[in-house]
Structure 1
Amino acid sequence: MSWNESGNQQDPWGKPGQKKPEQEQGSGQQQPEQKNRQSEQQPPDLEEVFNNLLKKIGGGKGNGGSNRSPSAQLPVGKLLPLGLILGAIVWGASGFYTIQEAERGVVTRFGKLHNIVLPGLNWKPTFIDEVLPVNIERVLELKTNGSMLTQDENMVLVEMTVQYRVEDPAKYKFNVNNPDDSLKQATDSALRYVIGHMTMDDILTTGRAVVREKTWNALRDIIKTYDMGLLVTDVNFQYARPPEEVKAAFDDAIKAQEDEQRLIREAEAYARGQEPIARGQAQRILEQASAYKEQVVLNAKGEVERFSKLLPEYKAAPEVMRERLYIQTMEKVMKNTPKLMMDGAHSNNLTVLPIDKLMQKPTASDATQTMVRPQVHQVPQITQPVQPVQPVPTQQEAEPVRKGRF
Structure 2
Amino acid sequence: MAWLIVLLIVLGLVLIWFAASFKVLQEYERGVTFRFGRLRPIRQPGVQIVFLGIDTMVRVDLRIVTLTIPPQDVITKDNVPARVNAVVLFQVTDPVRSVMGVENHAVATSQMAQTTLRSVVGRADLDTLLAHRADLNEDLARNINAQTEPWGVQVKVVEIKDVEIPQAMQRAMAREAEAERERRAKIINAHGELQASEELGQAAEILSRNPASLQLRYLQTLLELGADHNSTVVFPLPMDIIGPFLNKIPQWLDKQAATGSLPTAGSVPAPAAAPASPPVAVPVPVPEGSYS
Quick one: distance in 2 between partners of 1:184 and 1:258?
Answer: 42
Offset at residue 87 of structure 1 (A): 2.5
1:76: which partner in 2?
2
Query: Is the 1:107–1:132 contact (alpha carbons within 8 Å) kept by the matching residues of 2?
Result: yes
Distance 1:184 1:85, change over 3 A: closer
Distance 1:125 1:243, change over 3 A: same
Offset at residue 255 of structure 1 (A): 6.4
Residue 145 of structure 2 corresponds to residue 228 of structure 1: no
Residue 11 of structure 2 corresponds to residue 88 of structure 1: no
Query: Is the 1:96–1:123 contact (alpha carbons within 8 Å) kept by the matching residues of 2?
Result: yes
Query: Is the 1:144–1:187 contact (alpha carbons within 8 Å) kept by the matching residues of 2?
Result: no
Match of 1:184 among 102, 106, 110: 110
Deviations, residues 64-98 of structure 1 (Å, cap 9, x unaligned): xxxxxxxxxxx313312222233223222221121
Structure scoring higher RCO (CA < 8 A, sep ≥ 6) equals: 2
- Give the gaps of 5 or more residues in structure 2: 186-292
Match of 2:142 among 210, 214, 217: 217
Query: Is the 1:242–1:250 contact (alpha carbons within 8 Å) kept by the matching residues of 2?
Result: no
Residue 100 of structure 2 corresponds to residue 174 of structure 1: yes
**Could you list the runs of 4 or more consecutive aligned residues of structure 1 that deviate by over 3 angstroms after TM superposition?**
251-262
Give RMSD over aligned pairs.
2.8
Distance 1:104 1:88, change over 3 A: same
Query: Is the 1:172–1:230 contact (alpha carbons within 8 Å) kept by the matching residues of 2?
Result: yes
Deviations, residues 356-380 of structure 1 (Å, cap 9, x unaligned): xxxxxxxxxxxxxxxxxxxxxxxxx
The one-letter code of the counterpart of 1:230 is V
Q: Helix, strand or coil for the counterpart of 1:117? A: coil
Deviations, residues 352-403 of structure 1 (Å, cap 9, x unaligned): xxxxxxxxxxxxxxxxxxxxxxxxxxxxxxxxxxxxxxxxxxxxxxxxxxxx
Quick one: distance in 2 between partners of 1:120 and 1:253?
Answer: 62
Match of 2:171 among 248, 263, 270: 248
Distance 1:249 1:174, change over 3 A: same
- Give the structure-1-normalised TM-score: 0.42
Quick one: distance in 1 between partners of 2:25 and 2:46?
Answer: 5
- Give the gaps of 5 or more residues in structure 1: 1-74, 263-406
Q: Using the aligned pairs only, state the percent identity.
A: 25
Please say which structure displays the higher CA radius of gyration.
1
2:45: which partner in 1?
119
Quick one: distance in 2 between partners of 1:184 and 1:261?
Answer: 45
Query: Is the 1:146–1:159 contact (alpha carbons within 8 Å) kept by the matching residues of 2?
Result: yes
- Give the structure-2-normalised TM-score: 0.57
Distance 1:175 1:125, change over 3 A: same
Quick one: distance in 2 between partners of 1:163 and 1:254?
Answer: 35
Quick one: distance in 2 between partners of 1:153 and 1:213?
Answer: 23
Offset at residue 259 of structure 1 (A): 9.2
The one-letter code of the counterpart of 2:136 is V
The one-letter code of the counterpart of 2:77 is Q
Deviations, residues 296-325 of structure 1 (Å, cap 9, x unaligned): xxxxxxxxxxxxxxxxxxxxxxxxxxxxxx
Quick one: distance in 2 between partners of 1:260 and 1:229?
Answer: 54
Distance 1:131 1:203, change over 3 A: same
